Every structure is written in C-alpha cells, then in structure tokens.
Structure 1
Amino acid sequence: MTARQLDGLSRGEGDAETLAGLVRSERSHRLLALDLVMDVLTARDGVAAPLPAPERAWSLLAAAQRYAPEAVQELLDLPETGLWVGQLLNRLYRPVTSELPLWADVGHLHCLAAAAAVRAGLDFTFPVPCISGRIDLPTLGQIRLPQGALEETAVLAGRGGLVTATSLSGVVRLPTALHRSAPGWRPLHRAEVRLPGDMKVGFILDDLSRHRIAPQPNGAAQRMAPKTAEELAALLRTGCDLLVKSDAVWIPTVAALLRSVQPMRAHEAFRVRSASSDHAMGGFALSWPDSELACAAAVAHELQHSKLSALAHLFPLLEESAGPQQLFYAPWRDDPRPLRGMLQGIYAFTGVTRFWWGRTRLPHGEYEQLAWFEFALWRDQLAHVLPTVREAPELTETGRRLLEGLSSTVAGWSADAPRDGATRAVVRLAERLAVDHRVLWRLHHVRPCPSHVKRLATAWLDGAEPVLPGRRSLRAEHALWHLDARAVLTRMAVADPMALDKLRNLPDGEEVPGVTGAMRADLLWAAGESSAAEQRYLRSLVAGTAPPSAWAGLRLTLEESGRAPHAVHALSSVPELVSALADRVRRRTGTPADPVELAQWVGQRPADEG
C-alpha cells in the first residue's frame, strides 16, 4: 500500500484502487486462515466423522474452481465464510462450549464445496451435515428436509444439472432454477444497487445462514417473505443512493465492499441496530431502518468497520499489552470501551458524520435540520474523544497516523455552521446533548472516592466550604441504560414537530412508550416545557426515586434558565459527586437536601475532569 493510499484511508476515505487493494489483501488473509484450518484439521484423525475427511471437501472445492472460478471466489469472499473460519479457529484452539458437535461445525467446509460443485454444474455425490433438518448451500439457499435428528448427515448429489438431497428423514429435489422457491428449498434473496456510471453492485439478503454476525434470541435466522425482502432491498437501494449522492467518496466503498446484509428485527425509531465482524468484510447485520436516511447512515457506519478491519489485517494498529486495558468514554455507546473498540467506533462515526455533512451541503430539502443535528452532534463528540485516544501509548505508528488523519478530517468540519437562526438553534441543541451524554455516562461509570464524599457531607452539614475534589475511579457497567433517550426524543421533534405531541397525548406515565430509557420529564423537556420538566426532575430527586438521568436532566433545565451557574458547572464536570453526596446526606440525616442548592454548593470549587 502506498503512502498516498494509506493517507486516504486514514482520512476515512479510499479511492477505487485503494479499495480494490484492500479486497485483494482480505482474500489473501482469508486463504491463509483457511490454510491454517486445513493444517489443524488434517492433523486430527476423524475430526469430520461421520463426514468425509476435510481433504475430500477441499478437493471438491478445487475441482469446482477449475470450471467456475468466479463462483468459488464469491464463496470464499462471502462474509459468512469468514465468520465461520474465525469461529472454527477459535473453537479449534480454545475450549468452547457449543451445542453443535465439532464434526458438524467442520462440515460447513463440505457445504461450501457442495455449493461450489452445484454452481459449477459438476456431477458429484457428497455427504454434508444436516442440522435440524437444514442444509446450508452458501450463496444459493437452504434445503429443508423433514425434521429428523438434531444433527445427521445427508447426501447431496448432482447429475446433469439436477440436484437431490437424501437423508434418513427424506428426499428433496431442488428446482432447476435455484433462485425460485420449491418444496424443501429456500433460495437466498439477492438484490442490487445502482451506482453512478450505470455500475451495478449485487448483494445477498441473508436470512438463512447459521453463521450470524448478531445471533438471534432463539438461535435461528428469521425467514423473510419475498415481499418483505423486496421492501428491505428497496430501502437499501435508496439508502445507498442517498449515501453516494451525499459525497462521491462513498462510490468506491459501496462498489467494493457491499456483499451481504443479515436482517434483524426492527427496533425503535432513531435507534437502528447494526453490527459487523472483523472476519466478515462486506457483511453486516441490520435492524429494519425507520427511514432511508437512517439506512444510509447505517450502511456508512458498517462499511467503515469493514474498511478498517481489512486495514488492521495488513498493518497492526495497536501493540499487544499484557496489563489491564484502559477504558475510554465512547459517545456512541452506553459502556466504556477499550482502545481497539475506540478505533473502530471513531472510524465508523467519522464516516457517519461525513454522510450527514454531505447532506447539509445539498440544496434545501427534506430533513435538512435533522442532517444538521446529526452532523453537529457527531462532529462535537468526535472532536471530544480524539485528543484523548491519540495519546494512548499502545498505538503503533500506523495507528497514530490513522488517528491524525481522522483528526484532520474532523477539524476540517469545525468551521461549518448554518446561516439561518432556526438551524443554528438545532446545532446548539446537538452540542448541548453531546454534553448531556457525557454527563449521563459519568453518572453511570465514574465513582467518587467514598472518603471524599464523607468529608463533603460533613462540610455540607456543618455549613462549611466544600473540600477539594478527591480521587475517582471508573467502574464499567455493561447494562443498557439508553443514554441517548433525550437525543432520540429531540430527533423525533426535529424530524416531525408533531411527533412529541402524539406522545404527550398518551396516558400520563413515567416511561415514554417507544423510547426506552426516556421518562415523562425528558418528554416535557424535549417538547420545550423546560420548567415543567425541571419540577418533575426535582420531585423525583427529592423523593429518592430518580434514575441517574434526572441529575443530567436537571443540569439541562438549569442551563436553559440561566440560574444556578455553579450548579450547572458541578453537574457538568462532577455529576457523580453531586449524586453520591445527595445519597450520603439522605442516609445521614434521613431527609433529602435541596438538589439545586447542593449542586450549587459543590460547584463553588473548580472541579477537574479526572
């Protein structure tokens, strides 16, 4: 890779030549991993029994390659193939608890070989694993035999273009047109996107494979009806179209990397879930997006992950450390993240921010203010975390170069600001919610020194000045707290001013339906009723029933009113200290302290950002 190409990737970009190089390097990486798998398997006698030895499957794959090299290349490039290789290597080298016998796991190689033979039109007979009556044929579909044993073998045979699968539980004859459904046969859904220059990029909507990037709760993929698959494909086509129109830099990325999408169940509005894997370049799991814009942002996010994972297979970005991992604040997560996760998150959200930045450059259109909100929010959050992460001693020269390039990209957006007053207000709101997320994160993960809290409580009760800040520690909590709840409500209001009115007309309750983690006070605040929201926050804090988010909500309302500036300072810089002190005072006296007065008192002393 040339210095120019590496610099382009370090900015979060990459031209067609660079992306083609990444694809070639990832193919090499995949073949090396498969070679390692074969070395391990051939050294273990009977590892595939009752199936043929792995060498037999490899020979069938090689035979198919001579007649259909492109089909075999697609099978090897398939994200799900990389996922299987990574999981199998992990299982072969480390004790792993699995309900699936090792021979059946190894047998996916036999399924790959059989799929290659079918696509090459070979005459063959070959045993394959049948799991709960299902036989996977990657890139083609899934055979459904009558339910037999949990794990058994079946024989796949091809003669003159006709394919049959036979097991103790029955026989299935595949249709000659394998893209059509038939009794016992479920074809994979295929789709394509069109890019400028009449370029077509085909991809798979994989709702069949056992190898899931984001495993389903019941362990099995959920089959989509053909109409549902077409609707999702149309959404992805439109999302990719919006993406490449926002910035031409996305054209080579989509063209080179988009290969398969594994659908997940729909989630809440403005909370699209997606996931990728280091082993599955070009593939990602995606919950049903609530809009074309959300779909475009998710595609940008996941293809950036693929790009960085491939780069990391070429150049180490971190030095391995034997000591405990440092954890960092990640604005896109509820939990603290290690350095490796931070690099992936920063790279992905630089891509997301680039998409929203491109949307703000387009002529006035639908959801323009939402684009400004998203752009301002993520630009601010990236600018906040990049300086800290760049100082990590574990970074290699390439890792540091990567972060310098991303920092340059983010800095280049710093002067971008809207001209009209309404959009400036939206940008300011995004910046305030960026701080809100940091405050919420501290309330959940940062713990003040207990002895310092004790001394502070004594000083408060004695009417003395607050003592200097003490040491703090980080305690990672990995539960989902939905720290983005107020941001989700704000997005709803920006995208559709009537949306919050509909929520307010629902029966009065503490929780907001459809926005997990949001309370009634948050809804009032997002709807512009700051005073009413403050009263609810205060009531819950005084009653001792408030979640940590109430302290952060109080900070927002106090900031808006302009009163109690010392309280705003304390709740911005050391909210965990204010919360712990309030609990301590309540336990010692049996009565609550006034939350605003307490925070105002703590804020008299300058607090560091430790």
Structure 2
Amino acid sequence: MTDSLTPFTVPTRTLRALASTEPSAEGTRLVRDIRRSKRLVLLRAVLDAAPGGRAGEAADHWALLEEAERKDPGAVRDVLHYPATGVWAEETLRRLHDPAGPAPDLGHLGALAAAAATRAGVAFATTLRPTHGRLVLPTLGLLRPPRPGPLILTEDSWDPDDPAALPLHTLPGGATALDDLDPYRAAGPAHPAAVRPARRLTPKGHKRWDTQWSGALTLLQRYDTLRAGETVQLLRSVVPLGGGARSNGATLPAAAGSLLARAQAPPALAATLVHEVQHGKLTALADVLTLHTADRTPCHWAPWRTDPRPLDGLLHGAYAHLALAGYWQRAALYGARGAWAQHARLRAQVAAVLPVLREHPRLTSAGREFTDAMDAAERAMDDLVPPGDQHATARRTVERERRAWCAAHPELAPFAQG
C-alpha cells in the first residue's frame, strides 16, 4: 500500500471521452485509479494523525491489513476502497484535527482490518468494541454479540449462517451491495433529511430492491450496453434513501463508488443510475484536474432546478443531464415509451446552459477543453433527431422558463445568458 497520491496525467483523448459522458475503457480506468490513489492517501493520513501515530493501536490494525494484503490483495482493496470506508476516513480525519469536537472512531480501523483478514484467510485475534450491541465488518455485514462489552474476533468469528450475523445484501447480477448496515454508508445522522439513509430493510424490502435493480439493469443493457457496463464497474454499493428523500438519488463525494437512491420503478431507477454515475466520474476527474477557479456563489440558472447554482453545480448538472439525454435518445430507438420527449427536454436544457459554461471567464484551459467536448457531444445528437417538432418545442419551453427565472431573479439575469 503506497503512501503518496499517484501523479495523474489526463491525455486529451481521455479528457474528451469523459467530457462526452460516453463510457470508455480509458475513462473508467482513470476514474477507478484516481479513487484508489486518493483513498490510500486519506487512510495514511488517518494513521499518521492517530494517537501514537504509526506505533499505536491504529498501527497494529494497519499491520494486520498489510499482512492480509500479502495473502489476498484483492480482498483488502475491496475493503479499503469500499465507499463507506471513505466516509469514515474523512470524518475521522476531521475529528482528529478538531480536539474540541466528537471523539474519532478509530476502532473502525480495527473492523476494516478484521474484515480484510477474514476475507483473505489470515489467522488473527483482535479485540473490538461493538457500538450499541452491534459490530459492522465492512463488505461482510453486521455482528450482534450475545453479551455486552469488548469482543475478541478471530478468523472464525464471521459465519453468515449464524443467527447473530446479518450479511450485507448483494444485488443481483454482480458485486454491487445494497448497503443498509454500515454506519458510514452516508454522512452520518446529522446529514440533511433529503439524503438520509433508510434504516435496515426487511427481507421484503431486499426482495423489492432485487426486482427493481434487475429491471433497471435489464433496461440499461437493452438500451445502452456500454452504460450498463460502466454502472457495474463504477458502482460498488447502493444505499437506500430514507422516507424524507426529495429526489430519486444523490451522490456523496466522500463515498466514491456509491449512490443513495430511493426505491423506484425500473425505468426511473435506470435513469437515476445513469445520472448519478456521471457525478461520480466528474468528481474523480476534478480531484486531479482543475476545470475552473470559480467560488461557490450560487448565481447561475439551471433549467432542472429553481434555485441559483454555483458554477460547479451547474457544470455537474449539465454533465449528468447530457448523459441522460444520450441515454433516452438510445432508449427511444428501441421504442421506449416517452423516451423522445425525455430526450428532447433534457437536450434542450443542456443546450441552454452550455454557452454559459463555455464562455465562463473562470474556466481553466482544461475546463474549456472539457466544456467544448460536452458541446460537441450535444451537437452530435443531431444525427438522430426526435420525430416532428419535439426538439424545437422543448427549446421554446426552456427559453420561456429562462425568461421566467430571470424575471424572478433580476439581479442574476446576466448569469443566465451565454
């Protein structure tokens, strides 16, 4: 396991492929490599900041991880790069640097080590402290010890058939987990209700998700085989959203490779997967490449929202909606009901904001190249136009919405024009 962030060079071909939103082998590989490198640097930062540094209890857990890696590197990578591990690591690092705040959960590093060693088949014995009578072993599941107090774990402690164990649910068709167990699957109990994870699901809830997930993947494979493959490769877990969710899905930058989603019919879930995977791709790219130097001032019109957006939010939204426009265009060719209307509306929305993005003075040269490639991808959709005047009608509708937004936000009207 390396200590330093790998220096990344993004070739023009790869940058333009990512900007188009179309899946590519080099784009997928770059996103995964960035995520892995960033995660290792973050974990090393936690180890260095922990009490005792590389000589304390955290170092013992890290030593077990390294021992497991020597025997089964793949198992250890999966545990360390599991999305919830990133949320824990970022939260722990924040707490380690804020002595006045809540105490960091360094014991979770022991749970990561125990899970990795168990999966690698390494003999070990370590003492961990369950929280509220539960101990989560990331990527495996949850243990409910019969007695309170510290728990001595060995390589034989995890048995998915034991009534005291709750295995992590795996969705059909791959290695994507439906995570309703890990305490770090989202950003914690203080996170806004809009993206708060649901409580543990019942077997009926798991079955419902299995059906919807299978249906969504079937649609993706039918309409857009490459996006189906990209989804499986880049999505390690799905976290069910709680009842207060106001949207179909959300992506947390700290949980790379995961998305929060509410239960929904397969056509809607397929679109949510396409949308949220793009946010994850753009977040990874922005970790190694500066696309703009704008601040977080919310001043831009985004046709898919009512509130003003900062430049970064506008870029993310346009990028995700560009992918959806392409997805619905392909779905329309297979006769999917309402797909042409969806495509026309989404394309018109993206086309309306691309001039604002491309002409923004705070774009870097890489950002200019990226938005130019987005523009080329949008214009390439002319090769397959909707029947009738659906495209023109959608553009007129979006233009009316722009004028109405400018009237409601006169002080921001200049930011809505390209």
| TM bracket, shorter-chain basis | 0.7 to 0.9
* Aligned partner letter, 1:392: H
Shift of residue 155 of structure 1? 2.2
Q: Which residue of 1 aligns with 2:293?
A: 319
Aligned residues: 404
Q: Which residue pairs with 2:275 in the alignment?
A: 301
Which residue of the partner structure matches residue 77 of structure 1? 81
Residue 473 in structure 1 maps to residue 411 in structure 2: yes
TM-score by length of 1: 0.60
For structure 2, list consecutive stretches of 5 or more residues without a partner in the other structure: 1-9
Amino acid at match of 2:327: F
Q: Using a 3 Å threshold, how does the CA distance of structure 1 residues 241 and 215 change in structure 2: closer, same or farther?
A: farther
Q: Is the 8 A contact 1:140 1:187 kept in 2?
A: yes
Aligned residue identity for 1:297: A
Mapping 1:150-169, distance limit 5 Å: 154-158=150-154, 161-163=155-157
Shift of 1:128: 2.3
Query: Amino acid of the residue matched to residue 128 of structure 2?
Result: V
CA gap 1:410/1:147 in 2 versus in 1, 3 angstroms: farther
- Going from structure 1 to structure 2, the CA distance change for 1:278 and 1:379 (only over 3 Å counts) comes to same
Q: Given that residues 261 and 286 in structure 1 are in contact (C-alpha distance below 8 angstroms), is that contact kept between their aligned partners in structure 2?
A: yes
Q: Which residue pairs with 2:36 in the alignment?
A: 27
Matched, 1:205 2:166: no
Q: Unaligned 5+ residue runs, structure 1?
A: 47-51, 164-173, 194-200, 447-471, 475-572, 575-607
8 Å Cα contact 1:42/1:55 also seen in 2: no
1:56-71 to 2 correspondence within 5 Å?
56-71=60-75
Match of 1:222 in 2: 199
Cα shift at 1:247: 2.7
**1:545-595 Cα deviation digits (max 9, x unpaired):** xxxxxxxxxxxxxxxxxxxxxxxxxxxx99xxxxxxxxxxxxxxxxxxxxx
Q: Which residue of 2 aligns with 1:586?
A: none
User: How far has the Cα of 1:25 moved from its partner?
Assistant: 2.7
1:16 is displaced (CA, Å) by 1.9
Find the counterpart in structure 1 of residue 248 from structure 2. 273
**Residues 107 and 395 (structure 1 numbering): CA distance in 2 closer, same or farther, change over 3 Å?**
farther
Pick 1 or 2: higher relative contact order, CA cutoff 8 A, min separation 6.
Answer: 2
For residues 368-424 of structure 1, the C-alpha deviation after alignment (integer angstroms, 9 at most, x for no partner) is xx212211111111111111122222222212211111111112224644335xxx4
Instruction: Note if contact 2:87-2:255 (Cα within 8 Å) is conserved in structure 1.
Output: yes
* Equivalent residue letter for 1:383: A
Instruction: Measure how far apart 1:429 and its partner are.
Output: 6.0
> For 2:177, what is the secondary structure of its paired residue?
strand
- Residues 255 and 264 of structure 1: CA distance in aligned 2, closer, same or farther (over 3 Å): closer
Say whether 1:237 aligns with 2:214: yes
Matched residue type, 1:36: A
Whether 2:250 is the aligned partner of 1:288: answer: no
**Alignment partner, residue 110 of structure 1:** 110
Whole-Å separation in 1 of the counterparts to 2:378 and 2:99: 43
Query: Pairwise CA RMSD of aligned residues?
Result: 3.1
Match of 1:36 in 2: 45
- The alignment partner of 1:261 has SS state of strand
Identity %: 32
> CA separation in 2, counterparts of 1:339 and 1:77?
29
User: What does 1:68-467 correspond to in 2, within 5 Å?
Assistant: 68-93=72-97, 98=102, 101-102=103-104, 105-145=105-145, 154-158=150-154, 161-163=155-157, 174-175=158-159, 178=160, 180=161, 182-193=162-173, 201-213=174-186, 217=193, 221-265=198-242, 272-289=247-264, 291-319=265-293, 325=297, 327-362=299-334, 364-365=335-336, 367=337, 370-414=338-382, 416-419=384-387, 424=389, 430-431=394-395, 433-435=397-399, 437-438=401-402, 441-442=405-406, 446=409
Q: 1:435 to 1:87 in 2, by over 3 A?
A: farther
Q: Could you say what secondary structure the match of 2:252 adopts?
A: coil
- TM-score, structure 2 as length reference: 0.86
Instruction: Map 1:466-505; keep pairs closer than 5 Å.
Output: 472-474=410-412
The secondary structure found in structure 2 opposite 1:131 is coil
CA displacement at 1:360 relative to structure 2:
1.5
Alpha-carbon contact 1:123-1:157 (below 8 Å) kept = no
The change in CA–CA distance for 1:349 and 1:80 in structure 2 (over 3 A counts) is same
- 1:238 alignment partner AA: G
